[in-house]
Structure 1
Amino acid sequence: MLITLKEGREALRLDGTDNDNIIQALIDSIPSYLEVSTGRSWDTEPVHPLAQTIAKFILQLWYYEQGPDTERLKRTIDSLLVGLTAIGRTLE
């Protein structure tokens, strides 16, 4: 598992559990997204710290679809995915 529900709530800065079903569904979708984006699975133990960081950024982007930092967040995710892809190639 890339990130837990608790880590997801912390990344989103949420205290309550009202949206846990939505958050968990988004968290469950992230491993497939990373695999398609990088060509490698990242949810096996031990989880790479960069994959965890990107997962939190992706969760923020998906949960808060439009915000003042949306474009900057997208660019950050894209840049980190390039790095993660390169790391994945060296691990094979």
Structure 2
Amino acid sequence: MLIDIEEARDTLRVDGQDNDPIILPLLESIPSYLEATTGRTWVDDDKVHPLAQTVTKFILQLWFDPQGQDSVRLKRTIDTLLVALTAVGRGM
């Protein structure tokens, strides 16, 4: 995973483990989504690119609450970050 469950809970501002059955599958899906979108994996030798971690947090927020009041802003931010991440991936 690109971020751990504690970072995910902090990002989503949720306490406890009640939402873990929802959060964990989302966290497991994000690496595949980023690979399909950008054309590369973002975990190398147990190190995760910081931009990949950032976009992971935004994607997690959107997927966890797709009808939230900030969903349009989140989508624009994610699109911009994915473009940047793709460019970074090409240069690696």
**TM-score with structure 2 length normalisation?**
0.95
Distance 1:15 1:31 in 2: 24
Question: Aligned letter for 1:12?
Answer: L
Distance 1:6 1:30 in 2: 16
Does residue 13 of structure 1 match 2:22?
no
The share of aligned pairs that are identical, in percent, is 64
The Cα of 1:85 is off from its aligned counterpart by: 0.2
Question: Aligned letter for 2:38?
Answer: T
Does residue 78 of structure 1 match 2:87?
no
Any unmatched runs of 5+ in structure 1?
Answer: none
Match of 1:35 in 2: 35
| Count of residues in correspondence between the two structures | 91
Question: Aligned letter for 2:90?
Answer: R
SS of alignment partner, residue 67 of structure 2? coil
> What's the CA shift string for 1:3-27, capped at 9, x where partnerless?
0011100100001210111101100
Which runs of 4 or more aligned residues in structure 1 lie more than 2 Å from their structure 2 counterparts after TM superposition? none
Question: Aligned letter for 2:72?
Answer: E
Any unmatched runs of 5+ in structure 2?
Answer: none
Q: RMSD value over aligned CA atoms? A: 0.8
**TM-score with structure 1 length normalisation?**
0.95
